[in-house]
Amino acid sequence: MSPLSHLGSVDSVANAPLLIDAMGFRSAFDEIPIDDWIGASTPEQDVTRAARVSERDEFPWYAVEAKHPMRAARRICRLLSRRGEVAAVVAINGADVAMAVAFDDIPVAGFQRGHQAALERSQLENLVGCGESTHLGTAARIARVLATESVGQRFFRAFEAAYVQVVDAMDSKVPLRDRRHVALLQLTRILFLYFVQAKGWLDGREDFLRTEVDRCLASKLSVQRRLLHPLFFGTLNRPVGVRNASVRNYGRIGLFEPHFLERRHKLVIANPSWRDVFDDLFERYRFTVAEGTDQRTIAPDMLGRVFEGLMQSGERKSTGSYYTPASLVDDLLHHSFGAFAAKRTGIEYARATAMIRERSPDLRRLWTDITVLDPAAGSGAFLLGTLTLLAELRFGERANTPAARRRILRHHLFGVDKDPMAVRLAELRLWLAIVAVEEDGPSTKVRPLPNLDCLVRQGDSLRDPLGAAYGSRLSPDIDAYAHAKLRRQVFESHSATKTIHARKLRAAELEATRTCLVTAENRLRDMLAECRTQAADRSLFGERRGPDAQIRKRVRQVRDGLRTVQRHRRKLDREGSLPWFHFEGHFGDVFVRGGGFDLVVGNPPWVRAEDLGRDERRHLKERYAWWRGGSGIGYAHQPDLALAFLERGLELAAPDGVLGFLVPAKFLKTGYATTARDRLANTTTLYALADLTDV
């Protein structure tokens, strides 16, 4: 009898014996007075009910009901261990179930239903038959099962060790930060190749990489130059006939462009280091391009995990970059799409959200022209989730086809992130989403993969000085159809044609940006003329009003804004570039057609003010009204970076668009978010507000 088959039925202490029976122990039910057993329930335990659910001569299993199951299970096991008791605890809160065992004074946490760090299904199955002749032996066996690392955890530890080894193998004269960046770039490319190999696209051989590495080692040829470079840069975004000779000899894959750090430093990693990387890391695991199907294999979401995990703790603290669990991504997207459907159709929100979950064909017309932006895309969790969901909503049974996913990418998805490494990883994950639904077999039958660098862009979504200058939206006066066509041409182009189309798209984006700047100049001049008109107005007694304090302040602000816009317009004319990412220029067709994006979704960085640089804090204060909405002295009263993203997200959304963000719960009560709460309450419709503190 599998414990998995009964897990869904366990939602209270009363039916916990079902799980005990399923694991091969003899169940019972003896309710226990909480105060007599563990003393008064503390906030950490928060236990409301407890019972022994195994027979007296059996290994002791206890079941408790608690608000925070894993926390309660571990605390109770620690208490039992201190008493010298050997036992296991099942803690329950409705659908959430957690297990821990008191063994050798160490409470071993293992399983919590629905969490990313959960015990693998196979490990839960291994709890069946854990009973030994002694209670100590039983506890030891349960502890071994619960403490076993998941495949993903083991892979990450091995990846981390390989990462350190590759960094150390590079020229020590190169700055450490550059070496780390290149090492992560190289290893994630190889990880991508292992996913591609799992599709049979490397000569149709499951052992292609291993045998080719061995061939290079045996012939004393450079693994990096003779194998990895052709695979990385021979490019699968070219048709087979025009791939370079070395790549055609492999039948192969390559997809990338050399990074500027690779060009600058020309770092070469010696064969012994590559041998260890392949032997100790990649060849020890099995890979699959289908996420969430088999927990014994490594899936593409590992790209996001290694990125978040390998960032230095200080860098994570300053950038707020953290991995978002797939369950949260999925939930937020369903609510966001439900709000969009309710807004556009007039259907009640709860019903619209239910129709999204059901993939109702009745809503299919809504998805024809929808645009979705993640302004802090990270390694692509929300873009990937949106790709899957939107393909299912729009194409139904044809969702899991390369054509459907390519179409969603080409027309509907946009992402921006400040970290160039995160952007590269987001591209890899989106490519793998296409690879996953392509046919297995030789790569000679595979269409070139699309160029995503025109859709997932590197840039700072917050650093836009124009909004403060003119105070309202600007849509460039451009041909939206022509602009979108240029982006599609870059998306679909390859080889030399990509360079031509990319140059044309860049020229169109710069012209759209220049149009916005000229429009802003004209608008600001109109504001100055309005101020002069107000100053020239006469009172009821015929006296000239003159420039009072309010008008003078307004004039100063407008003139400052005009100088800023003129400076940037001249720089653009002179250098053909801007020092910030300008959404209305880069995605001008989106703003011309709809005034912004239909959905703005994501998990923006959560960064405390004291972890930001002085210049960045000053810019945020000048640019974002919500950032100025707090009071008090010191960092404790200054906003989180996510607050600026919240205001920016609403700016980037279309007038009838939807914003769906994961933000700090403190926004509900902290003083600095007062302005944000007021504006949200008075100027938007709040469809859903969920407290995920305990998730």
Q: What is the DSSP string of 51-106?
A: EEEE-TTSPPEEEEEESSHHHHHHHHHHHHHHTT--EEEEEEETTEEEEEEEETTE
Sole residue written with tokens 């044809």: 398
Q: Please tell me the predicted confidence (pLDDT) of residue 633.
A: 40
The secondary element (H helix, E strand) that includes residue 510 is helix 495-536
For residue 626, the number of C-alpha atoms closer than 13 Å in the C-beta half-sphere is 23
Count of Cβ atoms closer than 10 Å to residue 562 Cβ: 19
**Are 108 and 145 spatial neighbours (Cβ–Cβ below 8 Å)?**
no
Q: Please tell me the predicted confidence (pLDDT) of residue 3.
A: 54
Count of Cβ atoms closer than 10 Å to residue 37 Cβ: 16
Q: Please tell me the predicted confidence (pLDDT) of residue 54.
A: 93
Q: Please tell me the predicted confidence (pLDDT) of residue 222.
A: 93
What is the arithmetic mean of pLDDT over 204-218? 90
Sole residue written with tokens 């003896």: 30
Band (pLDDT 50/70/90 cuts) for residue 486 is: very high
Top mean-pLDDT range of 96-105, 503-512, 529-538: 503-512
Q: Please tell me the predicted confidence (pLDDT) of residue 251.
A: 39
Cβ burial, residue 645 (10 Å; 0-12/13-18/19+): buried
pLDDT in tens, 557-604: 888 888 888 888 888 888 887 778 889 889 999 999 989 999 999 999
**Are 396 and 404 spatial neighbours (Cβ–Cβ below 8 Å)?**
no
pLDDT at residue 245 above 50?
no
Q: What percent of the chain has pLDDT over 70?
A: 83
What is the arithmetic mean of pLDDT over 618-637? 68
Tokens of 276: 């260890």
The C-alpha atoms of residue 564 and residue 622 are separated, in whole angstroms, by 13
Top mean-pLDDT range of 154-163, 193-202, 563-572, 678-687: 678-687
Q: Please tell me the predicted confidence (pLDDT) of residue 267.
A: 86
Q: Please tell me the predicted confidence (pLDDT) of residue 246.
A: 45
**Are 612 and 640 spatial neighbours (Cβ–Cβ below 8 Å)?**
no
Band (pLDDT 50/70/90 cuts) for residue 2 is: low
pLDDT in tens, 360-419: 999 999 999 999 999 999 889 999 999 999 999 999 989 889 999 999 999 999 999 998
pLDDT at residue 339 above 60?
yes
pLDDT in tens, 424-436: 888 988 998 888 8
Segment among 17-31, 202-216, 282-296 with least mean pLDDT? 282-296
Q: Please tell me the predicted confidence (pLDDT) of residue 223.
A: 93
Segment among 134-138, 312-316, 493-497 with least mean pLDDT? 312-316
The C-alpha atoms of residue 41 and residue 618 are separated, in whole angstroms, by 47
Find how far residue 446's CA is from the centre of its chain: 28
Q: Please tell me the predicted confidence (pLDDT) of residue 41.
A: 54
The secondary element (H helix, E strand) that includes residue 457 is strand 456-458
Q: What percent of the chain has pLDDT over 90?
A: 31
pLDDT in tens, 344-361: 999 999 999 999 999 999
pLDDT at residue 632 above 50?
no
Average pLDDT, the chain: 82
